[in-house]
């Protein structure tokens, strides 16, 4: 048997932008009957310009090999082609060119609840999903108790999964994919749905699975997780391979590229983002450090416009490190950052006094999410990595040295030290 689990040669995937008419209805036929006499009078219209069809290559010239038992981390920004690659390897979609040879059964966890039937119970979906992965009923039964125990859904086992929360969905989906005995496990960025405890549990399971000699392809924006469990990496950028090899080299190259892109953006850069359907836009964002009485205060200003009236809108902020580790996610409920009856131009300001008391000096990224309560359409506009925040390091301990992010960690804890000596 070959020691190669996956062999990819000159792989490419092309998508057409826009939609083609795939069917012809009775209504279309009747309409043409009415139009035909008019066409005879006015002309056939064959000289009319047809809209140009545009194509985009999601992947192009992809070549790599994965040996049995290797854990490969696939990294890249949004739209780099990571999910498309995994869908091809999982046989969900076909390549436009090239080929991917898979030696072994593949278990995929690409989206929350992929392969689940909403009307079936958790118990029934375990057997359904296992069958889709090519498992026999005996194999599924042998692992059934382990799956239920890992997913922590025993109480809801006989409940239709359409009533599951997103967290329950992903716990069950991961448990099925990880416990059924496929030779190759493909995991996309889905662990973000679970809580921190479950993410840690999943990463531990991935490490256990790798020790069994199974091959794993792991996509995540969490570089710390990828570097901790993967041996090799593939860095995708704009549908092509930027670098492949040792995971530390690949991750470092990705971090440098991301930092360079972010560093080229000024803090007063205009970022016009718009939800055209609602007429809602973010026109500019600034993030500045204001000095006051020797303290550094972080000020974030957002300017936008709403053409239509929005009854209730919240503004959510995410602050992350350069390697995409979440520092904090501030919801409208935390800060009461909710605007009622919004229409026309608007601006808002977030302020954190004495920022060095809470965060180490270094580079951070900002996400902005405009949203309404779930019963009113949920998220309205999302701006990821919209701006870079530079926090100057500070001597928070009065020790003569500054507290840097990459040297000492994220948070300068307000720790004190005392020692008591007893004389004998």
CATH number for domain 273-408, candidates 3.40.50.2300, 2.70.50.60, 3.30.200.20, 1.10.3720.10: 2.70.50.60
Distance CA 43, CA 228 (A): 68
Lookup: tokens for 199:
């993410």
- Looking at residues 62-69, what average pLDDT do you find? 92
CATH architecture of the domain with range 56-261: 3-Layer(aba) Sandwich (3.40)
Average pLDDT over the chain reads 81
Query: According to the model, what pLDDT value does residue 265 have?
Result: 47
Could you tell me which residues are beta bridge partners of residue 56? 15
- Looking at residues 121-141, what average pLDDT do you find? 84
Question: Do the domains spanning 56-261 and 273-408 agree at the CATH topology level?
Answer: no
Report CA dihedral (27, 28, 31, 33) to the nearest 10 degrees: -110
Report phi then psi at 251, rounded to 5. Answer: -65, -40
Percent of the chain whose pLDDT exceeds 70: 82
Query: According to the model, what pLDDT value does residue 28 have?
Result: 54
Structure confidence by residue, pLDDT tens digits, 308-334: 888 888 999 999 998 788 999 999 988
Residue 201 vs residue 70, higher pLDDT: 70
Query: According to the model, what pLDDT value does residue 273 have?
Result: 78
Structure confidence by residue, pLDDT tens digits, 390-400: 888 888 888 77
Distance CA 185, CA 206 (A): 9
Sign of CA dihedral 36, 40, 45, 46: positive
pTM of model > 0.85: no
Q: Which of 103-112, 197-206, 397-406 is predicted least confidently?
A: 103-112
Residue 130 vs residue 411, higher pLDDT: 411
Structure confidence by residue, pLDDT tens digits, 159-194: 998 888 877 887 888 888 778 777 888 888 665 555
Query: According to the model, what pLDDT value does residue 21 have?
Result: 43
Each domain of the chain, given as residue ranges in start order, spans: 56-261, 273-408
pLDDT at 25 > cutoff 50: no
CA–CA distances in Å: residue 157 to residues 123, 136, 263, 374:
5, 20, 49, 26
């Amino acid at each position: 048997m070959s020691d190669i689990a996956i062999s990819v040669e000159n792989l490419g995937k092309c998508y057409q932008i826009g939609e083609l008419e795939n069917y012809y209805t009775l209504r279309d036929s009747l309409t043409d009957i009415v139009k035909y006499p008019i066409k005879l009078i006015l002309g056939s219209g064959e000289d009319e310009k047809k809209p140009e069809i545009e194509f985009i290559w999601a992947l192009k010239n992809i070549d790599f090999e994965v040996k049995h038992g290797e854990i490969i981390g696939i990294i890249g920004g949004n739209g780099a082609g990571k999910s498309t690659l995994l869908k091809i390897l999982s046989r969900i979609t076909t390549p436009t060119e090239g080929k991917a040879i898979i030696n072994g059964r593949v278990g995929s966890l690409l989206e929350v609840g992929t392969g689940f039937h909403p009307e079936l119970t958790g118990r029934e979906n375990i057997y359904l999903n296992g069958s889709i992965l090519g498992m026999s009923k005996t194999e599924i039964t042998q692992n059934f108790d382990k799956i239920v125990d890992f997913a922590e859904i025993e109480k809801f086992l006989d409940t239709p999964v359409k009533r599951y929360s997103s967290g329950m969905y992903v716990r069950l989906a991961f448990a099925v994919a990880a416990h059924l005995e496929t030779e190759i496990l493909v995991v996309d960025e889905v662990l973000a749905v679970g809580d921190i405890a479950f993410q840690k549990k999943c990463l531990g399971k991935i490490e256990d699975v790798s020790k069994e000699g199974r091959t794993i392809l792991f996509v995540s924006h969490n570089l710390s997780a990828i570097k901790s469990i993967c041996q090799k990496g593939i860095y995708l950028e704009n549908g092509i391979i930027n670098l492949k090899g040792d995971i530390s080299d690949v991750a470092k190259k990705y971090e440098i590229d991301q930092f360079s892109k972010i560093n080229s953006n000024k803090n007063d850069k205009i970022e016009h983002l718009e939800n055209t359907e609602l007429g809602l836009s973010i026109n500019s964002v600034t993030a500045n450090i204001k000095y006051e009485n020797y303290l550094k205060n972080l000020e974030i200003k957002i300017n936008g416009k709403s053409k239509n009236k929005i009854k209730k809108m919240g503004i959510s902020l995410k602050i992350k490190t350069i390697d995409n580790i979440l520092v904090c996610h501030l919801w409208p409920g935390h800060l009461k950052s909710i605007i009622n009856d919004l229409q026309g131009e608007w601006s808002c300001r977030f302020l954190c006094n004495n920022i060095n008391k809470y965060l180490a000096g270094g580079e951070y990224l900002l996400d902005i999410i405009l949203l309404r309560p779930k019963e009113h359409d949920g998220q309205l506009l999302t701006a990821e990595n919209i701006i870079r925040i530079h926090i100057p390091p500070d001597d928070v301990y009065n020790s003569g040295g500054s507290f840097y992010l990459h040297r000492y960690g994220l948070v300068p804890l307000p720790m004190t030290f005392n020692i008591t000596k007893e004389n004998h």
